[in-house]
Each structure stands twice: as structure tokens, then as C-alpha cells.
A and B are shown apart, each in its own frame.
Chain A
């Protein structure tokens, strides 16, 4: 029982970080109906940026996101403007997969050339610290990472629900044509939506670099998890992607604690298969699609 609860705690904490990455993915899908296969590569790019700021300036990763999120917002908006905007509406869904895959390869290439391919970790001073609550170990980094993710998700919620820009985004998600008729500049919203998605990747990347060792090829591993999560949650629903991330985090950590560790990697896919068999539209896809 102790192992199970310990695994649950770990799973929820990890799931929170994935929720942040997946919600960025979901916003991008929402505003453009584009599945961004470069989301994992953007997370790794964010991790490397924080790594550089940490090793050269000694900037704490949690502070460095103040620099890296605006930087990746710019990168994301730029990528959208350069490569996705020109695609024609009717074949955007399929071509955008290939285009974002190419972008992921390009980012991987740039990172490999800049940082070589050996594994890195951000070794913060508090990396090994942990709290003990009622007999359960809680690693400080994981807790901070979870809290940061939760705070950023809260900010994202406020941005989408309480600001004029957020209303424009939600209107674009629901019906791009009507939004445009009502005076929303959908091209700007699409670019900004992509930018926000990339900015969440930057924040998640800083945390990812603290928790795991990574190299330029790590995005393949990330993207398969992120895709499982968004399909599980139902494409286009932020609430769904958060639930999906928590479910995946908990399942993976339970499997790792109780079964042979290699199966932890597959638990993502097995859950995904089960969901596809039972509910092909994902957990929340049918009810919340188009609602963000």
C-alpha cells in the first residue's frame, strides 16, 4: 500500500508537468487544427536554453523561464507565420503534420550542432532535496515543478477566460469564420496561439531539464507521450489534456513501481489503445471538442 501511494504521488507530480506541455499542444490544435509534432522538440529547446542560462550565468531554471518563454513565444509565432500560414486550408490537417515533423527535425539538427549529442542535466543545488510527509518521500524539484505547472496552467486559464485576447482565441477555436466576421484577426490569433503553445513548452522544458537527463534526440520520446495524452484527452480540450496527463502519469508510475520497469514506457500506449477501442474520440473529445 505504501508503494502504491508513493507511486500515486509521483505520478500526479509528473503528470502535472506533462499537463503543461500537453495544454500547449492543445491550444495549437485549437486555434489552427494543427497537430504540432514539434512540441517535444520545443520542450527540449527550452530545456537547453535553461541549461545554458544556468551553466553560463548561474540563473536558476525556475527564473530562467522569464527569459525562455518570451523567446520561444517568438520562435513559435515565427514558425507558424513562415511554415504553417502558407498551407492551403483544405490540405492543412495532413500537410501540417509533415511540416511540423520537419520543423522538429530542424530543431533537433540545430540543437545537435550547437550542443552535441551527449546527455545533459540541469544540476540545481536543490536537486536532491526532498520532504517527508507522513512517511512519504516528496522530491523538492518534482514538487516545485508541479506547482509551477499548476500556476502556469492557472495563468493560461485566466488568459483564455478573462482577457479580450483569450476571447478572440476561444472564438477562433469555435468558429474561425464567424470570429473573423466579428473583427477577430484570425491570422494574428493563430500565430499568437502557436506562440503560446511554444511558450508553455519553454516553461515545461526548464522543468524537464531539472528532472531528467536529455539530449537533442529526446524529443521523440516526449512527443509520443504528448500525443498519447492529447488523444486520450480528446484533441482540442485543455481540460481533457490535463486529465489525460494525470491519468498517464499515474498509470506509468504505478506500472513502474509494481511491474517490470520497461513496461512503464508502454503503459502510455496500452492506455491509448484501450481508449481507442472503447472511445475512439478520447475521454472528452465528443463533449468538449471545439470548446477548448
Chain B
């Protein structure tokens, strides 16, 4: 459905759906690993809720309430289908990936001495919850170091996974775009009696996700990185595992009944969705995944990687420019993290912004990796299916121009 060409006609068909890109001189938006743009379909779906049926779902018997209940359930169903879940109830609505990871971390029932494995390239979302538990209850947080070429070291993992309670890995890294061999990791983890939680914030928006095929136990991702509204996220969990999770955040909507002395927990997934749910947000997220289905998710990774190949090749002409991540660009997905020696990455981002080219600079919430490698951050361009070859060429041209300031 998508193809890479200079004319990019098939992309233009989609670009018209994004209000941000519909001006005479649209910005070159290359900060998609942080936040994607929103198509009209998502905005309209949210507005429709607010304008036409702004009621509470699952409790009110009036027309608004009934419509909200129906659309909210449909949203859960759409998203569960999109990720290949067995049933909608396995989809827990959260605010973002971080909340999903925290929910597992605090509900899993970890005890002192239990081992949790992470990689060395974790976003703070999948690092800090474990560091907190390490301090509070004494779990053992063990890090699987990457190989020198920044790819996943299966040998090291196999050596560490024995006796591990939970493997919590980033599926695709927001640092360098590298995707771990998740299916193999999960298989080995299960063989060793460990369960697996994946941080899919950077994988789910770009790849076709099939949680059952992966056989992953928990999977957390965000809506705002996949065309959806901010403040939306998903935690997938196998039903039998969800049933054994303790409640984390509790209160409104998490119980069926309560007395002064006791309470009856709500069914799954509502028991994990404390307080009034984000109806408009989740209806918007459902519209986003429908949109992604219409784009054809199976084509997105190839397109993004081809854009990355053009960009990486362009930057290779810059003297003292280094790219963070595996040496083979095909392993870096749609993420291009780089440094130009003698130029502060924040300066570069601000200078590019002057030409309406938007990239990210800093440590990208992977402070631990940068601090360990004594690197003071980097510049990062991250692509999505709606980016064009022309945009990438303009990005390269402006980075080259800025590099001459040194």
C-alpha cells in the first residue's frame, strides 16, 4: 500500500488527513518517536464524543450513557483486535506506557530477592519502577548489557534469565531504533520460568503487533506515539495472569460493591482502571488504530527504514558525525540518533527549528545509557510513514549546513 518514491503520491493521500501538514509550507516533523501527528479522523472521533454523547460509560441509563458505553466497548474491541489479543478484556486502558509498566511492577507481587531483568537501553519508564522496588522491597534488578555493536546479546541473556521472575525489556529502543528478537527472548524466558513484560512504546506504532503470536505475558504501549490522543495507553495482559495481579490504583470504578469493612473487586479489566476512564481519548485511539490499519502497518517499517537509510547516508558526509546504534542502518528502524562533534545537539535542534525542521535533542529519557557512556545527549530524527523523501533530504541539507558552523 505504501511505497517510497520521490513523488510519494501514495503518501500524499495520507498527508492530507493531517491538519499540521496542510499548509503552504508544512513543517518537517521528525520527532515521531516522542509524539506523532494526529489525523482528522482521530480528532473528529474525539470531538464526536464531546459534541454528541458526552456521557459516562457503563453506569448511566440515558442515551448519552448508552452511546458512550457502546463506543467505549467498541474502542476496546478494536484495539484488542489490532494487537491480536484473545479478547477485549485483556486490554487495560492506561494513560501511557509508563503507567502500564508501573501497574505490572506494583501488582505482580514481587518479593524480596525476586530478579527482574532489563536491558541497558531502557527508557526511564522501564527502569525507575524497578529501581524503586529494589529500594523499597529489595528485588534484584539485573541489566542485560548489549553487545558492543548495540545489538541484543542473547548469550548474556540466556546466562542471566535462569531464576528470573520477570523479564521487562524495551521492544524497540527509542535511543537507536533497534528491535530486540522478542519472540526468541520470550521463548527462552518462558523455558526458564520467567514471565515477560515488553515496553512496546516504540514498536507498536510502527509494526504489526500480534501479542498471541509473540506469546508475550504483558505488553505496554502509548497512544500518542501512534496517531492517538495524549494521555492514552494500553496494557495488554494474558487473562490468567491479569486475574492474579493485585489491584494497584483503586477507588471509583474498581469495585462492584463496598461496605465500611470490605469491597468486591470489579471484573477485569475495569478493576485496573481506577477513576473515570478517558472515554474520548480511547475512542480517539481506536480511530487511530483503524487509521493505521488503513495505511497498512506491514509496510510502515520498511518505509521508515528507507527514509533512515537516506538520512544516514546524507549525514555520513559530515566530518566527525557519529550515529548511535547498530552499524547496520537496517537495524535502526526509523530512528536516527547522532552527534556532530563540536556542536551541541540542543543547538542543532534549535537551529533546525529555525528552518521548520523539528527533531529532538537530549537524552530522550534514556539517561542511564548516556551517563554510563559519558555522552551528553544526542540529536534524534525519528520518522513515520507520513514523512517524505523530500523532507528527509531537506533535513540532511540543513544538518550539513549547520555542521559548517563549527
The reply to whether chain A is a binding partner of chain B is: no
Residues of B within 8 A of A (CB): none
Residue numbers of A with Cβ under 8 A of B are: none
